Amino acid sequence: MAYNLLKGKRGIIFGALDENSIAWKTAKLAHDEGATFVLTNAPVAMRMGEINKLAEETGSEIIPADATSIEDLENLVSKSVEILGGKLDFVLHSIGMSVNVRKGKHYTDQNYSWTEKGWDVSAVSFHKVMQTLHKHDAMNEWGSIVALTYMAAQRTFPDYNDMADNKAYLESIARSFGYFFGKDKKVRVNTISQSPTPTTAGSGVKGFEGFLSYAEKMSPLGNATAQDCAEYTMTLFSDYTKKVTMQNLFHDGGFSNTGVSQEVIEKF
């Protein structure tokens, strides 16, 4: 059921790869809620994914952009404002990548050039996106910028590798840039700390299936799905959360505040 929460709002959605991705489900729901938006992803990711299908279903245009490239981002922002007919009301940053994870490098034996690449894609790109939006005055007042993160930024999950460091940096950027975006433009910036979710990116983490099951048993409400996350994101893009900013919002069925569950005690 749609509520027209985003009627008349304009935005950019980064990172829709396929039907399993949170960005994909967010785009579908934003469309249902009345929004218009531009879809974007890195050219290499677009070749792997099915973004053209999503664009057709939502009546959206696609602008390829490497989120680590200021030149690409400036082109993306200026063209999006032109295509959509005005400043933006929302932006979703749903980007994450670790070459060390992808290539099986242990956290204690990193290839640092790979580390820097993952850090740039997963975290610094969020700063670059917001800096570009800020400099071009591309956001409407009371707009909303959201990035997706994970609780490994606060607690150790051994196989999450250097992505944990990337997420910690991402969350810090949200707080720091959120202050300036709030003061200067009345734009809010938040991160959603989502349950482990079987997306293309999440499933690349070693031992993911076992951890997914563990998190399900630990969370009083069970794991939040990609669809659940899309629905939560709608509330943050809407006008009902105008004074929520610089927050890391746990969306994980209660996992983050559970010490141990009865199911886990019985299992062990």
Task: List Cα–Cα distances, 183 to 136, 178, 234, 239, 246, in angstroms.
Answer: 16, 8, 23, 18, 12
> Is residue 202 a known part of a binding site?
no
User: Who contacts 121 (Cβ-Cβ below 8 Å, separation ≥6)?
Assistant: 67, 68, 95, 96, 97
**Apex 73 CA angle, 70 and 76, nearest 5:** 155
- Whether residue 21 is annotated as binding a ligand: the answer is yes
Contact status, residue 253 vs residue 223, Cβ threshold 8 Å: yes
d(CA 85, CA 42): 24
Residues catalogued as catalytic: 150, 160
DSSP code per residue over 113-179: HHHHHHHIIIIIHHHHHHHHHHHTT-EEEEEEEEEEE-GGGTS--GGGTTHHHHHHHHHHHHHHHHH
9 is in an annotated binding site: no
Q: Facing residues of 190 across strands?
A: 146
The position carrying tokens 């202050």 is 179
Residue showing tokens 């997963």: 122
CA 14/CA 24 separation, integer angstroms: 9
Contact 160, 150 (CB under 8 A): yes
15 is in an annotated binding site: yes
Nearest alpha-carbon partner for 121 in 75, 72, 154: 72
- Cα–Cα distance between 267 and 170 in angstroms, integer? 34
Residues that constitute the known binding site for NAD(+): 15, 21-22, 95, 167
